[in-house]
A and B are shown apart, each in its own frame.
Chain A
Amino acid sequence: KAGVTQTPRYLIKTRGQQVTLSCSPISGHRSVSWYQQTPGQGLQFLFEYFSETQRNKGNFPGRFSGRQFSNSRSEMNVSTLELGDSALYLCASSLEFSRAAATEAFFGQGTRLTVV
Chain B
Amino acid sequence: AQKITQTQPGMFVQEKEAVTLDCTYDTSDQSYGLFWYKQPSSGEMIFLIYQGSYDEQNATEGRYSLNFQKARKSANLVISASQLGDSAMYFCAMREPRAAAGNMLTFGGGTRLMVKP
| Chain A residues packing against B (C-beta within 8 Å) | 31, 33, 35, 42-43, 45, 48, 50, 55-56, 58, 88, 90, 92, 94, 97, 99-100, 102-110, 112
Can you report 9 A-B residue pairs in the complex whose CB atoms are below 8 A from each other?
A33-B103, A33-B105, A42-B108, A42-B109, A97-B102, A100-B97, A106-B47, A109-B42, A112-B43
Contact B43 A42 (CB under 8 A): no
Given contacts A92-B45, A110-B43, contact A104 B102 (CB under 8 A): no
Task: State the Cβ distance, A35 to closest chain B Cβ, in Å.
Answer: 8
A100–B31 CA distance with the chains assembled, in angstroms: 9
Indicate if B68 sits at the interface (CB-CB under 8 A): no
Across the interface, B110 reaches (CB within 8 A) one of A35, A42, A45, namely A42
From A35, A42, A104, A108, B50 is in contact (CB under 8 Å) with A104
User: In the assembled complex, which residues on chain A have CB atoms less than 8 Å from the CB atom of B103?
Assistant: 31, 33, 48, 50, 92, 94, 97, 103, 105
A110-B104 in contact (CB<8A)? no
17 A-B pairs besides A92-B105, A97-B103 with CB distance below 8 A are: A33-B102, A33-B104, A35-B105, A43-B91, A45-B106, A48-B102, A50-B102, A50-B103, A56-B104, A92-B45, A94-B103, A102-B33, A104-B35, A105-B105, A107-B37, A107-B44, A109-B42
Q: B44 touches which one: A35, A100, A109 (CB < 8 A)? A: A109
Residues of B contacting A103 in the complex (Cβ-Cβ under 8 angstroms)? 33, 95, 103
Kindly state the separation between the CA atoms of A31 and B47 in the bound complex, as whole angstroms: 16
Q: A42 contacts B100, CB within 8 Å?
A: no
A13–B99 Cα gap in the complex (Å)? 37
CB <8 Å contact, A108 and B102: no
Whether A102 touches B52, Cβ cut-off 8 Å, given contacts A88-B43, A109-B44, A112-B43, is yes
